[in-house]
Structure 1
Amino acid sequence: MGTNQQRREAAKRKLDRQLARRAERAKRRKIIGIGVAAGVVIIAAGLVVVITGDDEPEGAATAQGEQGGPESCEYQPGGEAAKQVDPPSETEPPREGTVGAQIDSSAGPIDLTLDREQAPCAVNSFISLAEQNYFDDTTCHRISTEGLQMLQCGDPTGTGQGGPGYSFADEVDQNTTYPRGTLAMANSGPNTNGSQFFLVFGDAQLPPQYTAFGRIGEEGLQTIDQIAEAGHDGSLDPSPGGGAPNEEVRFREVTVDA
């Protein structure tokens, strides 16, 4: 029979192990990701959701504006900012035209065209973050090359959990698709857009749950194809999938023409 002191120490060790396991589970739940749609199974942010028949994907946004987004942009405070930044001051941004953007990365140039008509609030946020140097000296923390072919970036912490300290609503409808060359917002559920985005370079059979807000140019796709060829470390398999790129992708600077 152990002493009271030994029993207390054993109980404390057990509690510490339980708390560590809970913290790890919570950490994985908070990862902002993009699901892998294979057949009827969607794996997203550590959760597995099964879609059957013609059911609407859980969390899919219904049309509110022309592209399924809100009539005005609201950037709601939420979470701790990974890098000090202010939310966009403009809540009624232009809803027509396009804006060019350039990413100077360690792996090569990535040219973008942001589409105001498709997703004015997402474009407005991206421009604001770029102008505040939020993306500068950040890395792309995830690439997926099977089932879902995309490169995920926009988190200054490099963990998949960081954001700008605010969120905004989805801008999608049931016709939203993600062909090669799509630029879209990553999220951890409906209306949780922040700073993380993904660049589609191949297959992306996703449900309409991610705000698409622009296109990747040919030069940018060539850069991403090169990154994909180097593969990933598998650190995020099996959920949400993929891992850190074997070739580091660090953004030196992100600029916009606006």
Structure 2
Amino acid sequence: MSTSKQARAQARKKQQAYEARAAAKRRHRERIIRITALITAGALLLGGGLAVLLIAMHDNSQAKAAASTTDATASSGADDEVTLESGWAVSPEPPDPSYAEDRTWTATLATNQGDIEIELDGEAAPQAVASFLALAGDGYFDGTGCHRLTTAGIFVLQCGDPTGTGSGGPGYRFGPVENAPEDDFYPAGTVAMARVGGDGESMGSQFFIVYQDSTIPSDAAGGYTVLGQVVSGNASVDRVAEGGTITGDPDGSPAISLIVNEVSVS
């Protein structure tokens, strides 16, 4: 085979592999959306009401299961998937806070609803920002959906879980809480870390975007780590918030999906 034919064949092979990965990610997201809808409906029927709002900020993931909850890529089979096997997704330890370099970073979330630009404060929340930067650099957030929306009392959209269930995260957890407001007031545009109630050492990859001024009470662990602020693209989050949840309840999966296609930082 000539060099030019080899090059064309190699290009076709790469394109086919890319299309297979993209298709696998679409199937993965569609399954997660369906599963999340069923889980949310069941949870609301069993426990329902505003009581659920009291744990709206919680990341319920467990470190021992995290290695199997990363985003999937395609393998040789049409429906086969493999999980990420390297990088921070499966690291038992979070990146060192020095990774954030005590400076301000700009993270751009390219989503299906438009770009969302977030200013990350590496000086005020070095551990949280270091984690976000490391995961973003590994493509951990690519293809993930924002899985939770609250529309009463607390107004947030929660993202960063590759499983879309509220139980996913990387192999590590970190804490304590950084840069939490003393008055428990989180203005619209605030980006903060989700965690398990009462556990300041339970942060992972999940974060929430406040789309309307909210007062979120502190608990035994304190408040919630504020790692940044949305500086543009609020309309994308507002659009999702206006659509409400798929069940119409004040806490659940958003009816309008927001999929993070890619995260770039500078």
Class of the TM-score when normalised by the shorter of the 2 chains: 0.5 to 0.7
1:197 counterpart residue number: 207
1:60 counterpart residue number: none
2:11 counterpart residue number: none
Query: Kindly tell me: are residues 43 and 98 of structure 1, through their superposed partners in 2, closer, same or farther at Cα, counting changes over 3 Å?
Result: same
Given that residues 141 and 260 in structure 2 are in contact (C-alpha distance below 8 angstroms), is that contact kept between their aligned partners in structure 1?
Answer: yes
Query: Kindly tell me: are residues 212 and 251 of structure 1, through their superposed partners in 2, closer, same or farther at Cα, counting changes over 3 Å?
Result: same
Q: TM-score by structure 1 length? A: 0.65
2:245 counterpart residue number: 232
CA distance in 2: counterparts of 1:252 and 1:176, whole angstroms: 32
Which structure 2 segments of 5+ residues have no match? 1-38, 44-49, 71-83
Pairwise CA distance, 1:233: 1.6
Given that residues 108 and 265 in structure 2 are in contact (C-alpha distance below 8 angstroms), is that contact kept between their aligned partners in structure 1?
Answer: yes
Q: Match of 1:248, SS?
A: coil
Query: Kindly tell me: are residues 142 and 255 of structure 1, through their superposed partners in 2, closer, same or farther at Cα, counting changes over 3 Å?
Result: same
Pairwise CA distance, 1:131: 0.3
Pairwise CA distance, 1:45: 6.1
Pairwise CA distance, 1:166: 1.0
1:177 counterpart residue number: 185
CA distance in 2: counterparts of 1:46 and 1:94, whole angstroms: 24
1:141 equivalent in alignment to 2:147: yes
Given that residues 148 and 159 in structure 2 are in contact (C-alpha distance below 8 angstroms), is that contact kept between their aligned partners in structure 1?
Answer: yes
1:43 equivalent in alignment to 2:46: no
1:99 counterpart residue number: 105
The one-character-per-residue Cα deviations of 1:117-173 (angstroms, maximum 9, x if unpaired) are 221100000000000111001111011122111110000000011111211102136
CA distance in 1: counterparts of 2:53 and 2:257, whole angstroms: 28
Map 1:54-69; keep pairs closer than 5 Å: none
Pairwise CA distance, 1:244: 1.0
State the one-letter code of the partner of 2:191: L
Q: TM-score by structure 2 length? A: 0.63
Pairwise CA distance, 1:94: 4.6
CA distance in 1: counterparts of 2:108 and 2:150, whole angstroms: 22
The one-character-per-residue Cα deviations of 1:21-52 (angstroms, maximum 9, x if unpaired) are xxx9xx97xxxxxxx79xxx9712699xxxxx
The one-character-per-residue Cα deviations of 1:73-125 (angstroms, maximum 9, x if unpaired) are xxxx9332221423544343456321000001111111100001221100000
CA distance in 1: counterparts of 2:238 and 2:63, whole angstroms: 34
State the one-letter code of the partner of 1:178: Y
Q: Please, which moves more after superposition, 145-154 or 174-183?
A: 174-183
In angstroms, what is the RMSD of aligned CA positions?
2.8
CA distance in 2: counterparts of 1:118 and 1:42, whole angstroms: 27
Q: Match of 2:65, SS?
A: coil
Among 145, 161, 168, the alignment partner of 2:167 is: 161
Which structure 1 segments of 5+ residues have no match? 1-23, 29-35, 48-76
Q: Match of 2:187, SS?
A: coil
CA distance in 1: counterparts of 2:111 and 2:144, whole angstroms: 9
CA distance in 2: counterparts of 1:45 and 1:231, whole angstroms: 15
Among 222, 225, 233, the alignment partner of 1:211 is: 225
CA distance in 2: counterparts of 1:222 and 1:80, whole angstroms: 35
| Residue identity (%) | 40
Among 258, 261, 264, the alignment partner of 1:249 is: 258
State the one-letter code of the partner of 1:229: E
1:222 equivalent in alignment to 2:235: yes
